[in-house]
Amino acid sequence: MPILTLLAQRIGPGAPEPRPSRTNFTQLVLEPLSDEEAARIVEATFDWIPDELRDRIVARAGGNPFFIEESLRSLVESGAIARDEAGEWRLRDRPSVLEVPATLHAVVAARIDRLPPTARECIQLASVIGQRFGDRVLREAGGNHLADAVDQLIAADLVLEAAPGERREGRYRFKHAVVQEVAYNTLLVRRRAELHRRVATAYETVIGENELREFYPALAHHYLLGDVPDKAVDYSWKAAQRATAIHAYVEALRFADQALEIFEKLRRIEQAVEALYLIARVRRYRGENDGALAAYERALVLLEERDPNAPAVATLLAHMAELCTRWDAKHPDLQGIIDRGLRIVDGKRTREKVLLLAAKSFMARKRPKVTDADWTASLATAKEALAIAEELGLLREVSLCLDAVGYAYGELGNFRESYTQNMRRLPIAKSLQDSDELIDAHTMVAVASLVLGNFSEVIENAVTATDIASETEKPRLAAQALQVESLARLLSGDFP
């Protein structure tokens, strides 16, 4: 069934740049109204309006229909334009002396200033809660008397009741983002911080424990702007972890970066390193391997300040080595990383040693000239790593080592054994929640099958790898699998 998805985005400072990942994405930019179109809106609103006043409104609006609407509403609310006894719109003064605010923000600010005091406090508190806000949080943070004033905001057309299907994020919403922005900017910095703290506490009070995780981002935001760093960092970290779990990687990076900054300011080094691990993992999932390496390097600096030979340093070096040898991140001294890590782990049979030995095995492909003797040594190293991984019951590392063993066999021309090792790897990779590992396993089975001439198996595994890579937005891995599939179809004469 065809599905059409329509998304709206506000363009301007602070807005994310649209980066479509699909080829069937179409972007429609709503251009400003022409002067003629803007004038028609003004004339359609009133039965009659002097040309001079109409032209001033149109000139100030810059093609923004919301500015036109708010300017006209402001003139009515101020009494500059009113209905006469016959019900016709009339000016109360000459057009030349009527004040048309120069900016949209000024128009909205003037309207907010004319609100009764309680309604003005209500819109300020609502602006702190967010573009959408709920009745329960508003009442808990401001009290019933203040919350009841929301009806005045609705009557003034500054706030709207959200449609029933939109109320998950709040019963009410500001009519326009500018209204929230202007109301928020009327607050002094100290008052803003106080209200953010009250809103955060209100969320914790009225939201049930089971629902609270949905509001981790909001709580992180309010405690951050409320200048409560301990709670801000805890909720930022929870938001980052939850976003990672549901594959919302952009949000995960945003909150992990936010948590990292606060962890470092509070000198909570272990948590800062943990945040950097998450950042590295998410960037690898997104194919940003050099960005992942940069996160590891930043974590390394923090750990080395304490003890350059600590086991945690070896763990970090092992992850860096894997990233550079398997996923092609670039480091100027990769051999030095591996050697240093192996010195720290020494003779211990640990996960770190497995990762470092596997990386050492893959190092042969980084050399400009490689001999069979090099690959024979790499195969022995990979088998040593595999034995330790199997002994320790490390499934992901077993998959990694089978990859290294299979790769070395392939370079030595033994593609039957390479195929066998990667077929062993497939069920393990399927049990892991790591799409990169599964894509790579299917691709390597396809590569070995290609040399063995089993074209149907090549196509089956390459298509599976491409599909997973496309679903998880891994274009580089998808391209590699597609290349193998295309070659198999070419050699077999299969042209769909």
pLDDT (tens digit, 9 = 90+) per residue, 100-143? 566 778 888 988 999 999 999 999 999 999 999 999 999 999 99
Q: Do 213 and 128 reside in the same domain of the chain?
A: yes
Q: Do 195 and 165 reside in the same domain of the chain?
A: yes
Q: Do 127 and 181 reside in the same domain of the chain?
A: yes
282 neighbors 252 (Cβ within 8 angstroms) = yes
Q: Do 143 and 199 reside in the same domain of the chain?
A: yes
Q: What average pLDDT does this structure show over 444-458?
A: 95
Q: Do 120 and 40 reside in the same domain of the chain?
A: no
Q: Do 94 and 179 reside in the same domain of the chain?
A: no
With bands split at pLDDT 50, 70 and 90, how would you rate the model's confidence at 94? low
Q: Which residues contact 411 (CB under 8 A, 6 or more apart)?
A: 364, 365, 370, 375, 378
Q: Do 62 and 151 reside in the same domain of the chain?
A: no
pLDDT for res 396: 95
Choice between 177 and 219, residue whose per-residue pLDDT is larger: 219
With bands split at pLDDT 50, 70 and 90, how would you rate the model's confidence at 405? very high
Q: What average pLDDT does this structure show over 434-451?
A: 95
Looking at the domain assignment, is residue 16 inside a domain? Answer: no
Q: Do 395 and 444 reside in the same domain of the chain?
A: no
Last residue of a domain, one of 82, 110, 138: 110
Count Cβ neighbours within 10 Å for each residue of 40-69 and write b for 16 or more, e otherwise: ebbeeebeebeeebbebbbebbeebebbbb
CA 190, CA 198: separation in Å to the nearest integer?
13
pTM for this model (two decimals): 0.79
pLDDT for res 101: 63
Q: Do 380 and 401 reside in the same domain of the chain?
A: yes
Closest C-alpha among 53, 55, 107, 117 to residue 77:
107
Last residue of a domain, one of 66, 91, 110: 110
With bands split at pLDDT 50, 70 and 90, how would you rate the model's confidence at 23? low
Strands 132-133 and 172-174: antiparallel
Looking at the domain assignment, is residue 314 inside a domain? Answer: no
With bands split at pLDDT 50, 70 and 90, how would you rate the model's confidence at 312? very high
C-beta neighbour count of 230 within 10 angstroms: 11
Q: What average pLDDT does this structure show over 436-459?
A: 95
DSSP letter for each residue of 21-63:
-STT------PPPPHHHHHHHHHHHSS---HHHHHHHHHHHTT
Q: What average pLDDT does this structure show over 407-427?
A: 96
Cβ-based burial of 4 (10 A; exposed 0-12, middle 13-18, buried ≥19): exposed
Asked if pLDDT for residue 194 goes beyond 70, the answer is: yes
Q: What average pLDDT does this structure show over 281-294?
A: 93
pLDDT for res 22: 53
Q: Do 121 and 208 reside in the same domain of the chain?
A: yes
Amino acid at 241: Q
pLDDT for res 393: 96
Choose the weakest-confidence range: 175-179, 232-236, 276-280, 342-346: 175-179
Choose the weakest-confidence range: 15-19, 30-34, 233-237, 263-267: 15-19
Question: For the chain, what is the mean pLDDT?
Answer: 89
Last residue of a domain, one of 76, 110, 144: 110
Asked if pLDDT for residue 289 goes beyond 90, the answer is: yes
Domain count of the chain?
4
Looking at the domain assignment, is residue 324 inside a domain? Answer: no
Asked if pLDDT for residue 344 goes beyond 80, the answer is: yes
The distance from CA 388 to its chain's CA centroid, rounded to whole angstroms, is: 37
Looking at the domain assignment, is residue 345 inside a domain? Answer: yes
Q: What average pLDDT does this structure show over 258-277?
A: 97
CA 43, CA 58: separation in Å to the nearest integer?
11
Looking at the domain assignment, is residue 204 inside a domain? Answer: yes
Domain that includes residue 106, residue range:
35-110
Determine the 3-state secondary structure of 161 from DSSP. Answer: strand
Closest C-alpha among 71, 88, 156, 78 to residue 122:
156
Q: Do 413 and 446 reside in the same domain of the chain?
A: no
Q: Do 80 and 126 reside in the same domain of the chain?
A: no
Closest C-alpha among 181, 218, 183, 213 to residue 201:
218
pLDDT for res 496: 62
Query: Does an H or E element contain 338, and which?
Result: helix 334-345
| Encoded tokens for 162 | 């959200």
Looking at the domain assignment, is residue 78 inside a domain? Answer: yes
Q: What average pLDDT does this structure show over 245-263?
A: 95
DSSP letter for each residue of 395-417:
HHHHHHHHHHHHHHHHHTT-HHH
pLDDT for res 98: 57
Looking at the domain assignment, is residue 279 inside a domain? Answer: no
Looking at the domain assignment, is residue 70 inside a domain? Answer: yes
322 neighbors 329 (Cβ within 8 angstroms) = no
pLDDT for res 3: 75
